[in-house]
Structure formats: structure tokens, C-alpha cells
Amino acid sequence: MRAQELVEKAKVELTGKRLIWNVLWYGSHLAIFAYGWHSQQNNAKLAALNGLRFSVWISRGAGLVLAFDGGLILVPMLRNILKLIRPRLMWLFPADENIWFHRQVAYQMVFWTMVHTTAHYVNFINVERTQVRKQTAWEIHYAQPGGLTGHVMLLIMFLMYTTAHKSIRKQCFEVFWYTHHLAFFFMIGLYTHATGCFVRNSVDPDYISSFPFYSTEHCLGYQSWRFTIWAGILYFGERVYRVIRSRRKTDISKVLLHPSGVMEIRFLKPSFKYKAGQWLFLNVPDISRFQWHPFTISSAPEDPYVSVHIRQVGDFTLSLGDRLGATKGIASETLDYPDEKGDYGRRKDYIEINPKALGNGMPVLRIDGPFGAPAEDVFNSEVAVLIAAGIGVTPFASILKHIWYAQRSGQLGALRRVEFIWSCRDTGTFGWFQTLLEELEASQSDPDFLRISVYLTQKMDSDTVQNITINDVGAEYDPLTLLQSRTLFGRPNYKQIFNSLISGIESGSYLPGREATLKTRLGIYFCGPSALASTIKKDAFAVRTRSVDIKFFKEHF
């Protein structure tokens, strides 16, 4: 990293909310470390052990931090509990950044593990040298619970951390997923790490014949597991509950194939209640008993079915396409643009799969969820800017439909205007939600309430562009999308979009009747690649003014 970048990063980390977070996060770790060190150093019962001095105090301090982090690391993975508390506690912490938080705890654990392990290696060598215990370093390392569980945990951490690297997750998600389940054994190791009279105030404590097989008078043990185990119990309980819930009755009602091979699965699950913008885990035992894949719900809670739109990209989704008789091949023959004559004009935007044509009928579906998502909060904004890239449109399909239902029942909350911006690589992509967008646009009594801007990012040859332009002249509808709003070519210029939006709000032309003294709540909701999320956020905050309160929410696949 260059000096300039370092200065920029330091500026971000040392201002505003980031500064508070850094002080609390690193401060709490250092405070726990200091407390562990202090309590070890001043424990009269451990006077003999304290003769080892710094290495023993450091190992104790770092051990206590690891116990704390060992409990904390599971908290962001309590998905159901998070879903429940999310709406009430969003003001306090960003509940949608649970995976980010999980990673922060994991980074701390690596650091403190290095400190703890190094200090213990010094301890054990010194124990052998001073004979403060009548044991060799080798025995403590490999023949006692503390050393054994420690080494097993180190091995598990090595496997989990290496396979969690972005490059592995991108290339072979299953390797990461299955290896991460070693966490179960890691936790058992953590809870039992200080058993077996590992910490004692006597050189040679008495062993007794019944559980816990040593005299508790001399075996002091560290008791942190009594606190940390609760997160483990909750997590385990959640996983069991999720398995039970996922097996409740679910029937596929329809499978639609859209352009570019996107499958829309509609299913009925009476026990499944969700909010617009949430997502679920889907499992198809016919394809894999253990793989659970996340997909955003594209239907609205008011719809009589639940739907997901699935892009066929890899092993699981392609096998699912095969199993449902909805392959990419069929899509390109019947639905994709341009057609065999090179025409970009309208083709069908879906075909329905006939279940009778599937030799072994519709497969069994297991659904786990729903889980929270940032787009849930759209009704708290006065102006909502929904930005989707490619398949990132799915949560907004649900939100837009939900808004439409809310409009009809007059329950729009604070919401006064909606800007929907969708960048698609090719023309076929529009077909995923063409009918929905057409209907939404046609149903607007206030033409200003919902503005749809579709961007086509694919490069087209000049003949095609000319063709489209000729077709467009004087036409009531856009020749590509069949919407009244025209397709825009190239990538959206977000800075310009936010700039004109904010100027419009401030001048009163965008929200007529808005009180000049009030702050307007502008919510930007993005779903697409993370790199684009950072650019959009930066562009939005670069043009922020005092009279517009901008909140940015992102979801990435």
C-alpha cells in the first residue's frame, strides 16, 4: 500500500463511527487481556506458576481474550435471533454486516492465538526446566487435555482460515462450507481446553476415582467456558430448529424459464412467513443432501406463492436446471435475444415447464429461512433509490411488488418517491422481470412516484444501435424493454444521478410541498457486486448536503 493510500485509510479509520468502533473493539480486547494478565499475576494460589513470569501472564491474558472471542464468533451467525432483533437494533449496530463482524472476530482470534500459543510454548519449556510440575514439555503438549485440544484447535483453525479465503470460496464454495463445519470440534476443544487439572496450585494434585477424576481443592481450572458455551448452545439449537423448519411441507407450484436460463421456481409453503427483500436457503436433496444455497425471495408477501429467480452459474444451479428441465440450452433456443434472425424485437419473456414432461416429477424442496436483508427498511425512507446490477434485481422485484400492494392499500409509510435503477449486461436480462415492470409502470396514477431507469451495459455494434434508434422514433414504448421509460446505454453515472436528485430535493422540484426546514430521508438500497457498492456509496456521500439525510444499505451475492 502506498503512503497516500495509508494516509487515506487512517483518515477513514480515525474519524466518526469508525473511530468509535475501533476504540471499542480494540479497547475491549486490550482490556480483557490486561484483566487476564492482572488476575493471573495476583493470584496467590498460583504463586508457583507465576514464577514463570511474563510468559504465563501473557498466555493467561491472551487465553481470556480467546475465550471471549470464542463465544462472540458464533453470535453473528445466530441468523434467526438476528432477524428478530434486527428491526429494533439497527440504530445501534449494522445487523446486516454480520459476516463482516464474524470475520473481525476471526482476525482477532488469529492474532491472540499466536500470542497465546507462543507464550505457552515458552511456559512448557520453562516448566520442564524448573520442574514446577513434574512433567516434560512434550507430555504437556501432546499427552494432556490442554496441549492436545490446543493443537487440535490450531489444526482446525489452519484448515478453516485457509479454505475461507475469498479465492477458495469463489472457486469451490463447498470446500469452504464443509471445512467450516469443523467449527463444531473447535468449540468442543475450546470448552474442554482447561480441563484435566491443567491449572493447579499443587505440583502433584490428588486424583480421585470419580468425575472429574481429580481433587477440585487443588485443581483450579479456568471457568470461562461457563460463559462462552451459551453462544454454542444457542447456535446448535438454531441449527436443529432450522433443520426441522426446512422439512415442513413445501410443494413446487410452477417452474418458469426466463431468458439467459434464469429459472423462476414458485412454491407453496404455508408455514413460511417473510418480508419483502428477505432471502432463504434452498436445498434439493435430489441434487445434494448437504448443499444449501442462498437465494433472494422475488415474490411479495402478498403473493399467493413464494418465488426465487435463479441464475444458472455453477454445479448446483446447472444441475437444478437439468433436474427441472429448464436448461440454458432451451432458453437460448426459445427466449434469448437477439433471435436467430438477429432481431432484438420482443420474444417471449418466459416459458412454463410442464411437470408431466419430467420423468420423475418435481423434486423435493427444502427451504430454510427467511433471513433479514437491508431492503426490508425501504418504507422508512421518503425517497428510496433502489439500485440493482444484473441478478441483484431479485430483492427489488419483491420490494417493488410490495410497494405496489402498499400503494393500493394506502400504506406507503414515509415513502413518497421511488427511483429504480437497473443495469443489465444484455437485453435478455430485462425479460426476467419484464412483465412485472410493465405492470408496475402502467399502474402508476402518479407518474412521478416510480421512475424506472434501465441501463444496458453491453457494447452493441453500430448497426444494432441504429436499428433500435429507428424503431424508437415516435414509438410510445421503448423497443427493448416495452416500458414507457427509455433504455439508457452504458454504465450509470451515479455521481450525476445523486447530484441532480439532491438538487431537485433542495429546490423543491423533486418533492413538491417539502418543508425547507425539514431533513429529507434518502435511502439508497443496492444489490450487486461489492466493488460497485463501495463506488456507489462514495459517490452518494460525496454529494451529500445538510438537508438530505442519506442512508446506504447494500446486499451482495
Ligand X SMILES: Cc1cc2nc3c(=O)[nH]c(=O)nc-3n(C[C@H](O)[C@H](O)[C@H](O)COP(=O)(O)OP(=O)(O)OC[C@H]3O[C@@H](n4cnc5c(N)ncnc54)[C@H](O)[C@@H]3O)c2cc1C
Q: Which residues bind ligand X (CB under 6 A)?
A: 169-170, 173, 279, 292-296, 308-311, 313-317, 391, 394, 557
Residue given cell 417471449 in the structure block: 348
Closest contact distance (angstroms) between CB of 429 and ligand X is: 12
Distance CA 487, CA 442 (A): 17
- In the bound state with ligand X, the residue whose beta carbon lies nearer, of 46 and 306, is 306
Closest contact distance (angstroms) between CB of 226 and ligand X is: 34
For 166-188, give one letter per residue: b (16+ CB within 10 A) or e. Answer: eeeeeeebeebeebeebbeebbe
Q: Which of 340, 342, 329, 331 is nearest to 309 (CA)?
A: 331
Closest contact distance (angstroms) between CB of 373 and ligand X is: 7
- In the bound state with ligand X, the residue whose beta carbon lies nearer, of 220 and 533, is 533
CB under 8 Å, gap of 24 or more: what pairs does 280-283 form? 280/308, 280/367, 280/368, 280/369, 280/370, 280/371, 281/246, 281/367, 281/368, 281/369, 281/371, 282/308, 282/365, 282/366, 282/367, 282/368, 283/246, 283/365, 283/366, 283/367, 283/368
- In the bound state with ligand X, the residue whose beta carbon lies nearer, of 314 and 342, is 314
- In the bound state with ligand X, the residue whose beta carbon lies nearer, of 62 and 533, is 533
Four-residue CA torsion sign, 297, 355, 365, 329? negative
Locate 160 and state its grid cell. 478453516
- In the bound state with ligand X, the residue whose beta carbon lies nearer, of 133 and 309, is 309
User: What CA dihedral angle connects 537, 538, 539 and 544, to 10 degrees?
Assistant: 90
Instruction: Write the DSSP symbol of residue 336.
Output: P
- In the bound state with ligand X, the residue whose beta carbon lies nearer, of 35 and 161, is 161
Closest contact distance (angstroms) between CB of 444 and ligand X is: 25
- In the bound state with ligand X, the residue whose beta carbon lies nearer, of 220 and 391, is 391
Distance CA 307, CA 433 (A): 12
Q: Strand, helix or coil at 257?
A: strand
Q: Which residues are CB-neighbours of 45 under 8 A, at least 6 positions away?
A: 201, 220
Distance CA 419, CA 384 (A): 6
Q: Nearest 5°: phi and psi at 26?
A: -70, -35
Closest contact distance (angstroms) between CB of 339 and ligand X is: 24
Closest contact distance (angstroms) between CB of 79 and ligand X is: 11
Closest contact distance (angstroms) between CB of 244 and ligand X is: 20
- In the bound state with ligand X, the residue whose beta carbon lies nearer, of 443 and 530, is 530
- In the bound state with ligand X, the residue whose beta carbon lies nearer, of 100 and 207, is 100
One DSSP character per residue, 462-511 reads HHHHHHHHHHHTT-SS-TTT-SSSPPEES---HHHHHHHHHHHHHHTSSS
Q: Is 380 exposed, middle or buried (0-12, 13-18, 19+ CB in 10 A)?
A: middle
- 361 touches 390 (CB < 8 A): no
Closest contact distance (angstroms) between CB of 470 and ligand X is: 35
* Amino acid identity at 340: E
Closest contact distance (angstroms) between CB of 45 and ligand X is: 49
For 539-549, give one letter per residue: b (16+ CB within 10 A) or e. Answer: bbeebeeeebe
Strand partners, 280: 295
- In the bound state with ligand X, the residue whose beta carbon lies nearer, of 319 and 471, is 319
- In the bound state with ligand X, the residue whose beta carbon lies nearer, of 293 and 417, is 293
Closest contact distance (angstroms) between CB of 376 and ligand X is: 13
What is the CB neighbour count within 10 angstroms for residue 551?
A: 15
- In the bound state with ligand X, the residue whose beta carbon lies nearer, of 240 and 313, is 313
Closest contact distance (angstroms) between CB of 469 and ligand X is: 32
Q: Which residue is nearest to ligand X (CB)?
A: 314
- 300 touches 361 (CB < 8 A): no
First and final C-alpha spacing in the chain? 27
Closest contact distance (angstroms) between CB of 294 and ligand X is: 4
Closest contact distance (angstroms) between CB of 272 and ligand X is: 16
- In the bound state with ligand X, the residue whose beta carbon lies nearer, of 107 and 178, is 178
